[in-house]
Structure 1
Amino acid sequence: MKIYHPFARSLVTVRSWPFFIDLGVAFCGLALFFCVLNTARYWMTTATPVIPISHSISALPMYAVYSVVRIGIAYLLSLVFAIAYGYTAVYNPRIEGWMVAVLDILQSIPVLSFLPPIVLAMVSLIPGRQLGIELAVIFLIFTGQVWNLAFSFYSSLKSIPKEMTEASRIYRYSPWQRFWQLEMPYAAIGLVWNSIVSVAGGWFALMLCEMFTMGDRNFQLPGLGSYMQSAAESGDITALFSGIGVVVLIVVATDQLVWRPLIVWSDKFKFEQVESADRATSPILELLRRSRLSLLPGQLWARIEEPVYRRLAHTRACQVVEPIDDDSSKRKGAVLFWALVVAIVIAGAWAVMQALVMLRTVSWADLRGLLAGALATFLRVNAALLISAVWTIPAGVAIGFNQRLARIVQPVAQVLASVPASAFYPVLLLGLMKIGGGLGIGSVALMLLGTQWYILFNVIAGAMSIPSDLKEVTRLYGFTRYQRWTRLILPGIFPYLITGMVTASGGAWNASVMAEYAHVKTGIIQTVGLGAEISSATDAGKFPIILLATILISLMVVTMNRLIWRRLYRLAETRYKLEG
């Protein structure tokens, strides 16, 4: 005799969920595998610098695969580099100042300045294969993604509370344990939010990297960037908006499948003593937690991690609490420092000699034009920076403090940040010309499209990282709005705000190459500025002009770094550092 329970059917359905979730995860893994396999086959074909771009909508899926693979590989390289660079800078005080200055210079140099040496080097290293050109494009996208991640990780390590660092020493953590159990968790929130804006920067760089001219050589690769740029130059509005629509779909899917789960996951690393009642949620993360396949990497990592920790526990570093001022570590650091100095001096001397030979061809007229352009672009960059800060600080705090608002606004902001602003430049330029604003002033508005998101996403990350117990204290003591901003909000977001301002400055310098110089259907529109000088020199193959413009940008960035940003970073790690 069979007995039917009223909840038996629902129980079977609930128990069958893990199977369907595992099936979905397996299908996603297979799709990713075949995308990478198909891309690898294309990369190993004979080198073809110029591939005809079809404006057919049926070509968009394959173009989307190529572009997503390029951005994904560039992002992974950026993440590894950012962590290694930030860690090295923090734990080597002798070279820390130099590394931060170099990072500030590199993130301010436009992508087009990296274009000639990277393309020529990669094509020479892998001759006869499409892989060489593809690697060059990936490295160019890398230069548009990596710098804000490096600044975020460096800033997070510098702002770790002192008592937590001392606790790791007292409990005899090895460097490996300290990295995975203290430093990476503390930096997780900033890395996740900067990853969003970093990938958005990759989409911005896509139109510059997939289709470009270098002297008498043209490069044109299949992808969404070249598709949109080709459509914009030919005036095919239907194809242009079709490409933008595909980018929006990819960004929305990435937000729901990747960034939203990572934001919810990273929320557990918030440094607080009272758990917040308002937590972010992600249906995708909940489904993945029920999947047995998604748990396998964590189980494998645990099996690898535990034996490593047991072996490290028997080392001298984990058995003896080393003093902070250890003479042996100082001597070792001094040897490494001087070895690095010698290597840098030798490399620098060779580079200076090569640069002097190349700059001998620059005329006084070219130099005067570059100096005037440097002043004009410098003023535009700082104007864009101030305008961006005016609205992004209050908006970012509001989003970071309100999870309901964040669930609505964050995907919209990510879509707006990820859609290549350069795709709208032809339309915006025509509008500016019709209203009579001119490109000189209008280029500031165009720079905002590539600048404001760095500040916004960093402010959101800073607001979300403020402990909930501190927020409760301000409510209990009846702080006014002015007191909350001056005593809690601004000090709490200050390290993140400085990181956002520094990276936004670099974003503005990068955006200048398209904001001050543009190809439209009627010809070329440009204004006075270093970005215009670099773009026109790239088209004409005038490498000495590109080099001198890059040197001028570096000098201005170093000056700003020493006078402003370094002092603000020092203030962030001393006065506005969260302590217990």
Structure 2
Amino acid sequence: MKLPQLPVRFPERLQPRFQPFARSLVMVRSWPVVIDLGLAACLLAAFFALVHTGHYVFGTPVPVVPISHSLSALPLYSFYSVIRIGIAYLLSLAFAISYGYTAAYNPRVEAWMVATLDILQSIPVLSFLPPVVLAMVALVPGHQLGIELGVVLLIFTGQVWNLAFSFYSSLKSIPKEMLEASRIYRYSAWQRFWQLEMPYAAIGLVWNSIVSVAGGWFALIACEMFTMGDRNFQLPGLGSYLRTASDSGDVTALIAGITTVILIVVATDQLIWRPLIAWSDKFKFEQVESADRVTSPILELIQRSHLLSTLPSRLWSGIEEPIYRRLSRSRDCRVVQPIDEDAARKKASPVFWLISALILAVILWGASKAVVLLSQLTGSQIVTLLEGAIASFLRVNVSLIISALWTIPVGVAIGFNPKLARIIQPVAQIFASVPATAFFPVLLLGLVKIGGGLGIGSIALMLLGTQWYILFNVIAGAMSIPSDLREAASLYKFTRYQRWTTLILPGIFPYLITGMVTASGGAWNASVFAEYFKIGNQTLQTLGLGQQIDIATDAGQFPILLAATILISLMVVSMNRLVWRRLYRLAETKYKLLA
């Protein structure tokens, strides 16, 4: 029998003491309702944003849109740029996970896929520009969607590579005993992916997502406003706004544009990245929970939502249960699978050979077209390209060394101290996200006045495009070091030298190599801005492959553009074979975390 609920009354002399407590209870109970209303408002805003975007992209194509320097135009330009970067990031994440997974678990094609990834991430964005934009415009004629897809794919090329390297490196560094446990408990590939591989890679993916989005902001100026032969493209967005403000010398508009970017970066950090960092901290591979935990007020509010705590779990369980029931009848879940390397090298299927034949046919067709284009080069052009290759190679490696010298100690300090990370990480993200090309004229003019010129300025701009890859990967590596190992080092009173050589450098080594590889690609990408720059009616340039790519893109000289891209690819492949591949193998064997 249900008893009637009687009102609870406190004595009158105690009521004043309990009034604040009662008010706090009411506020706590009302929080989930307020949060659910806020989430509903966000979903409604996202729906209207989707409708507006669809109306814009399916409209009549307008390659050149006049850019207004009015402050009232900034919200709309910010909306377009954020949408482009967001779509490019989602495409990058999906590609990185599928590509990294395929490369990590297919020894037959692993070396080729890693080398291809290294080449693609080192090719400057402007090398992708003509074929990507022309292909997208021809694919979707008569709509703005074709031009927008081209721009999104160009931003994609500036975001995807470090995510793919991060996921691949995380899969290769999973402790062997954890893989053995997943086979002993007869996990299917689906279960192993969601319960072992993705959690283990979560920290690296989150921090590389931050630097990927920062790379998207860096490439925004080149992607939203560019010239290709006799055709001009200028789309509404913050990249075009900053570029036109810089070219026209409008300091007020330039400051307003940079301030807008900073506000967007800060909002993104607090609303997205900080909650994700706090959420991913639970996937740290450790046996003793750390006393210093990463926290996020936004994540705590979201976790109080009734809508998010019930609806996703119900939807996911309805999808997940049929999949698990079907997988339970598969051979992977009925028989314990071996983990030896011979099982991975089983006989290739006919599908593999068919795909290989198709890829080979495409490569041969592309090689024949490339030979025809390269035959148009003159001897003086080849000599200039070779001299530019040597100059750019030296600049890239100098910027890489300088970046590593300061980012390693700073990244370790941030990763070991969550309180310091809460302060420094948003600041570093702001500096990484603000397009360096927006304030590069000021830096360049200052260097010219003191006698430096573009020779030193090019290295400075390359630093702005490379150091963040190393910094954020080192932070992720330092955060992933188990707390029990750090406590053991303190317990045994390791000296500073012993801590660095025995714990810190081995612990961050796989992440550091990923950061160095992606930073190298970032330096090659920055070369197209660093070695050829326009200030008003004046053009400053220095010898390099970036300079040759810029000139060839403006003039529509496809033979020079192709030759410069091939030279970059050859140098990247050489570095991959001689340096990076050996360091990756060292990370997989000597510096792999084992229980």
Give the TM-score range, shorter chain.
Answer: over 0.9
**Is contact 2:186-2:335 (8 Å) kept?**
yes
How much is the aligned-residue C-alpha RMSD, in angstroms? 1.4
In the other structure, the counterpart of 2:184 is 170
In the other structure, the counterpart of 2:12 is none
| Aligned-partner Cα distance in 2 for 1:362–1:292 | 66
| Aligned-partner Cα distance in 1 for 2:539–2:280 | 46
Alignment of 1:181-580 (within 5 A): 181-295=195-309, 296-324=311-339, 330-333=345-348, 335-580=350-595
| Aligned-partner Cα distance in 2 for 1:220–1:300 | 43
Offset of residue 331 of structure 1: 4.6
One-letter amino acid matched to 1:478: K
Give SS of 2:573's match: helix
Give SS of 1:451's match: helix
**Is contact 1:462-1:492 (8 Å) kept?**
yes
**Is contact 1:104-1:502 (8 Å) kept?**
yes
Deviations 1:259-314 (A, max 9, x none): 00000000000000000000011000000000122222233213321332122112
**Is contact 1:462-1:493 (8 Å) kept?**
yes
**Is contact 1:114-1:140 (8 Å) kept?**
yes
Alignment of 1:51-130 (within 5 A): 51-130=65-144
C-alpha change, 1:477 and 1:327, in structure 2 (3 Å) is closer
Q: Which runs of 5+ in 1 are unaligned?
A: none
Offset of residue 131 of structure 1: 0.3
| Aligned-partner Cα distance in 2 for 1:447–1:177 | 42
Offset of residue 76 of structure 1: 0.1
Offset of residue 346 of structure 1: 1.0
Give SS of 1:411's match: helix
> How many residues matched?
580
Offset of residue 409 of structure 1: 0.2
Matching of residue 31 in structure 1 with residue 45 in structure 2: yes
**Is contact 2:208-2:472 (8 Å) kept?**
yes
Offset of residue 424 of structure 1: 1.2
| Aligned-partner Cα distance in 2 for 1:494–1:298 | 37
| Aligned-partner Cα distance in 2 for 1:120–1:9 | 63
Offset of residue 167 of structure 1: 0.4
Once the two structures are aligned, what percentage of the paired residues are identical? 73
Matching of residue 155 in structure 1 with residue 169 in structure 2: yes
| Aligned-partner Cα distance in 2 for 1:328–1:106 | 31
C-alpha change, 1:277 and 1:2, in structure 2 (3 Å) is closer
One-letter amino acid matched to 1:294: L
Offset of residue 324 of structure 1: 4.0
One-letter amino acid matched to 1:15: R
Offset of residue 330 of structure 1: 4.5
Deviations 1:339-389 (A, max 9, x none): 343222211110011001111211111111111100000000000000000
Give SS of 1:212's match: strand
One-letter amino acid matched to 1:36: L
Give SS of 1:47's match: coil
| Aligned-partner Cα distance in 1 for 2:417–2:249 | 42
Moved more, 513-522 or 558-567: 513-522
One-letter amino acid matched to 2:77: Y
The two structures have a TM-score, normalised by structure 2, of 0.96
| Aligned-partner Cα distance in 1 for 2:342–2:235 | 55
The two structures have a TM-score, normalised by structure 1, of 0.98
One-letter amino acid matched to 2:387: A
C-alpha change, 1:299 and 1:435, in structure 2 (3 Å) is farther
Structure with higher Rg: it is 2
C-alpha change, 1:415 and 1:327, in structure 2 (3 Å) is closer
